[in-house]
Amino acid sequence: MSVTTWKVVADHFLINEERNSTLDQKISDTRKLKEKRHKKYRKQGEKPFACKLCDKSFINSSNLICHMRTHTGEKPFSCGTCGKGFPRQPALTAHMRTHTGEKPYPCELCEKAYRDRSNLVRHMRTHTGEKPYSCKVCGKSYSGSSQLAYHITTHTGEKPFSCLNCGKAFNKQSTLTVHMRTHTGEKPYSCDMCEKSFRENNDLTCHMRTHTGEKPYSCELCEKSFRWRNVLNRHMRTHR
């Protein structure tokens, strides 16, 4: 290779290095500017990125983009194990732990551990008694925002979660999820001691008492105990 060719190659690499350095600096400056802007918004309580479909606002555009998926139904992050989709990467990361069993967020006050930090934060309020979410209608307070959202529907009568198969509506996403199993036939909660399966975890808990003999519902007027609350309620009528 001639001296001239070497010079051309060297100049080419030098130009690319300068371009990459300039690009890296621009990216760094942009990131710093965004961080500075977000700190300002948080400090002043501003949320300049507003959703055009509802009343919610956000301090940055990425949070708005994630929120918009609650309206569009878009779930671009899919589980490679079961195929379930999620609107945000952190939600997929937390979901993957249902397959691996990993619970990296332990409570320092008891033996419980959780798959994601938000569940640990909510759990800690059972120890502290903190209830930061208050209803503006009746004043009741709750430890989690989802609990408050559910409570609000008792005032408004709103049922925002609708079944696409039969049109039945519910005021909680979890209730809709359980209802959908009446259409799919899915029974994800299986008994380890027999072959029975159930649509809800609560049904499995009640069923397990037929194996363990546990009777957690006791009558305060006599010594009888029962496996199920509704049986206790019927029994209480015999004392009237």
| Per-residue pLDDT at 27 exceeds 60 | no
Residue 143: predicted pLDDT: 87
Average pLDDT estimate for 125-145:
90
Q: What is the pLDDT of residues 160-180, one digit of tens each?
A: 889 989 999 998 888 899 999
Q: Check residue 59 and give its pLDDT.
A: 78
Q: Is the pLDDT of residue 31 over 70?
A: no
Distance CA(115)–CA(103), nearest Å, equals 4
Per-residue pLDDT at 25 exceeds 70: no
Same fold, 68-128 and 189-239: yes
Q: Is 196 left (phi over 0), alpha (psi -120 to 50) or beta?
A: beta
CA distances for 162 relative to 62, 76, 175, 187, 211, angstroms: 27, 22, 10, 20, 36
Which one is predicted more confidently, 25 or 140? 140
pLDDT of res. 83: 87
pLDDT of 43 strictly over 50? yes
User: Among 14-28, 85-99, 139-153, which is the least confidently predicted range?
Assistant: 14-28
Is the CB of residue 151 less than 8 Å from the CB of residue 142? yes
Tokens of 5: 């060719």
Q: How confident is the model over 47-68, as pLDDT tens digits? A: 778 888 888 888 788 888 888 8
Q: What is the pTM of this model?
A: 0.48
User: Across all residues in the chain, what is the average pLDDT?
Assistant: 82
- pLDDT at residue 20 greater than cutoff 70: no
- 85 forms beta bridges with 78
Let me know: does 107 contact 92? Beta carbons within 8 Å: no
Assign a CATH topology to domain 189-239. Double Stranded RNA Binding Domain (3.30.160)
pLDDT band at 145 (very low <50, low <70, confident <90, very high): confident
Lowest-confidence range among 20-29, 86-95, 188-197? Answer: 20-29
Q: How many CB atoms lie within 10 A of CB 238?
A: 10
Q: What is the pLDDT of residue 3?
A: 47
Q: What percent of the chain has pLDDT over 90?
A: 25
- Convert the chain into a string of H (helix), E (strand) and C (coil): CCHHHHHHHHHHHHHHHHHHHHHHHHHHHHHHHHHHHHHHHHHHCCCCEECCCCCCEECCHHHHHHHHHHHHCCCCEECCCCCCEECCHHHHHHHHHHHHCCCCEECCCCCCEECCHHHHHHHHHHHHCCCCEECCCCCCEECCHHHHHHHHHHHHCCCCEECCCCCCEECCHHHHHHHHHHHHCCCCEECCCCCCEECCHHHHHHHHHHHHCCCCEECCCCCCEECCHHHHHHHHHHHC
- Average pLDDT (121-135) is 91
Higher local confidence (pLDDT), 142 or 8: 142
Is residue 193 predicted with pLDDT exceeding 60? yes
Q: From CA 120, how far away is CA 110, in angstroms rounded?
A: 11
Domain range summary for the chain, segments of one domain joined by + = 68-128, 189-239
- 68-128 maps to CATH 3.30.160.60: yes
- Residue 199 tokens, joined: 């649509």
